[in-house]
């Protein structure tokens, strides 16, 4: 009996020794690859921005007046960074190559843009960051920090390469980005996005316009002087924007939350006062007249019937004033009546036109700043459906349930608006620059994440309001702190970066390189 047992064991050992052990580790029911189009779908979903959220309050477009739902205070803590999203971008690129794509392919071209987009998003929040070493995963768990200048040099390189890749693919013909629900795979629109975003990046570096390594002025002029090589947006139809589609994605304001939010959020003084300053018809579309002013006998179509709350006001005072009807509410007809709402713009034509106007105003390129200024203003008005003619505006009846509105007719002439003394471009001067920056602020009210705040931080135009309501000792922070896990996983490199930038302190009031 023992003899047979030994023989059986020997046969089994021979069989195992002759087997391919690697095959035992393969699960036949588990996928070993993922279509790049599927990854692309998730990557784009994760990069979308919202509205009526904390960034929109920090941009001072609206305020919360009821502390159960939050406050108007700015952050005092750390940033959420995009490295996981970037690893998904890297995986998308790898899967495209595994599936047989050439080195220059639509996913690689989009990937370079997304790398630039996310690194800009991150560095604007904190400053220096791990760059190329940061995506190596377990191969390098403690990557060194690149300076913010080095990051922007790499960002501009990625954008240049992305533009070149798109140009080659478009010329070849028949190319599309599957899984793209922003532009339905249209490479022409992606190329326009790359260069329009590049203009935003260059403008954001205005304080470094004389840096010989960055060549800000030259790169800006190159885009404007060579539209065949560097196509940009030509209308709102080119906007990078997210459109809510119920029931999967509902607009942040909709009939479901009308009873919770409608009276507990009001417009901000900075936003409303700028619209009033410019006698701007957008005011009647985005806000409602203050109930107290209507009861006092003012016309709903009187600019002085609209009042926003200062973001710096104490929350107790804001609550008291809001309950008395002192402040204008968000326009309930526009923002609560449907589940789809309006597009949430991330990079838009109106902003791009005003970026071009700003660059020309600063002397970076030849051109007609006034023309782009006008185009930007009109594009923003068009976004809200405002054109020459009769504009119907609707305001909810005080105390009424959603669906009961008063309608008014407002005559609009956009040429007359642009000719108003306060609106008419004041030329390539400080006054003209102020007009451009204020109109840019008005144009970025929906979406755009923290872009309005970044423009304020760079230029102090428009000057954000502050006080006890903004927290942080009545001041507005200049940056986020680094994520807490960096202190435990990458302390040496983090401390080196903090010493280089902020005298060793991870301070929300530290002034990063790009705004020095």
Rounded mean pLDDT for each run of 10 residues along the chain, 516 residues in total:
36 39 48 86 92 96 94 96 94 96 97 98 98 73 94 98 98 93 97 98 98 98 98 98 92 92 96 98 98 95 98 98 97 93 96 98 98 98 97 86 86 98 98 98 94 98 98 97 93 97 98 98
At 414 the pLDDT is: 98
Phi, psi dihedral angles at 313 (to 5 degrees) = -70, 145
What pLDDT does residue 28 have? Answer: 52
Which H or E run contains 151?
A: helix 148-172
Which residue has 């930007």 as its token pair? 376
If DSSP states are collapsed to H, E and C, what string results for 351-410?
Answer: HHHHHHHHHHHCCCCCCCHHHHHHHHHHHHHHHCCCCCEEEEEEEECCCCCCCCEEEEEE
d(CA 285, CA 330): 9
Give residue 404's pLDDT.
82
pTM recorded for the entire structure? 0.93
Residue 507 class from Cβ within 10 Å (0-12 exposed, 13-18 middle, 19+ buried)? middle
493 burial (CB, 10 Å; 0-12 / 13-18 / 19+) is: middle
Closest C-alpha among 118, 127, 198, 140 to residue 164: 198
Helical ranges in 18-105 per DSSP H: 36-47, 54-58, 83-98
Say if residues 417 and 425 touch (Cβ distance below 8 Å): no
Q: Is 345 helix (H, G, I), strand (E, B) or coil?
A: strand
Note the pLDDT of residue 4.
Answer: 37
Cα dist. 212→156, 195, 206, 219, 358 in Å?
14, 21, 13, 12, 21
């Amino acid at each position: 009996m023992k003899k047979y047992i030994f023989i059986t064991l020997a046969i089994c050992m021979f069989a195992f020794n002759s087997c391919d052990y690697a095959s035992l580790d393969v699960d036949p029911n588990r996928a070993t690859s993922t279509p790049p189009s599927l990854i692309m779908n998730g990557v784009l979903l994760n990069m979308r921005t919202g509205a009526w959220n904390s960034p929109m309050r920090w941009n001072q477009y609206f305020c919360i007046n009821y502390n159960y739902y939050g406050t108007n205070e700015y952050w005092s803590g750390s940033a959420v960074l995009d490295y996981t999203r970037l690893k998904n971008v890297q995986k998308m690129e790898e899967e495209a190559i595994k599936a047989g794509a050439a080195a220059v392919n639509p996913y690689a071209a989009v990937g370079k843009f997304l790398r630039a987009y996310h690194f800009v998003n991150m560095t604007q929040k904190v400053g220096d960051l791990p760059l190329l070493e940061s995506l190596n995963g377990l191969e390098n768990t403690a990557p060194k920090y690149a300076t913010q200048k080095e990051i922007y040099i790499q960002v501009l390189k990625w954008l240049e390469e992305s533009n070149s890749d798109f140009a080659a693919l478009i010329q070849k013909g028949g190319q599309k980005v599957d899984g793209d629900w922003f532009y339905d795979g249209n490479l022409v629109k992606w190329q326009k996005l790359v260069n329009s975003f590049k203009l935003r990046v260059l403008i954001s570096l205005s304080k470094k316009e004389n840096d010989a390594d960055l060549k800000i002025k030259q790169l800006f002029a190159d885009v404007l002087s060579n539209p065949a090589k560097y196509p940009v947006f030509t209308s709102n139809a080119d906007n990078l924007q997210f459109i809510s589609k119920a029931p999967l994605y509902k607009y942040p304001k909709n009939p479901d939350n009308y009873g919770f939010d409608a009276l507990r959020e009001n417009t901000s003084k900075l936003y409303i006062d700028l619209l009033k300053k410019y006698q701007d018809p957008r005011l009647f579309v985005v806000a409602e007249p203050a109930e107290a002013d209507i009861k006092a006998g003012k016309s709903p179509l009187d600019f002085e019937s609209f009042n926003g709350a200062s973001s710096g006001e104490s929350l107790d005072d804001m609550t008291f004033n809001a309950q008395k009807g002192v402040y204008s509410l968000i326009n309930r007809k526009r923002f609560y009546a449907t589940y789809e709402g309006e597009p949430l713009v991330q990079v838009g034509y109106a902003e791009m036109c005003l970026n071009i106007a700003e660059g020309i105003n600063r002397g970076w390129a030849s051109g007609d700043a006034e023309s782009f200024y006008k185009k930007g203003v009109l594009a923003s008005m068009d976004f809200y459906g405002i054109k020459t003619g009769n504009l119907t505006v609707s305001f909810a009846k005080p105390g009424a349930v959603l669906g009961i509105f008063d309608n008014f007719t407002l005559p609009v002439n956009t040429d007359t608006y642009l000719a108003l003394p306060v609106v008419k471009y004041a030329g390539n001067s400080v006054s003209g620059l102020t007009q451009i920056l204020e109109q840019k602020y008005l144009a970025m009210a929906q979406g755009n994440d923290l872009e309005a705040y970044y423009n304020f931080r760079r230029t102090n135009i428009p000057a954000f309001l502050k006080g006890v309501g903004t927290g942080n000792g009545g001041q507005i922070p200049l940056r986020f702190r680094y994520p807490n896990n960096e202190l435990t996983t990458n302390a040496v490199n983090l401390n080196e970066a903090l010493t280089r930038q902020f005298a060793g302190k991870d301070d929300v009031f530290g002034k990063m390189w790009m705004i020095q």
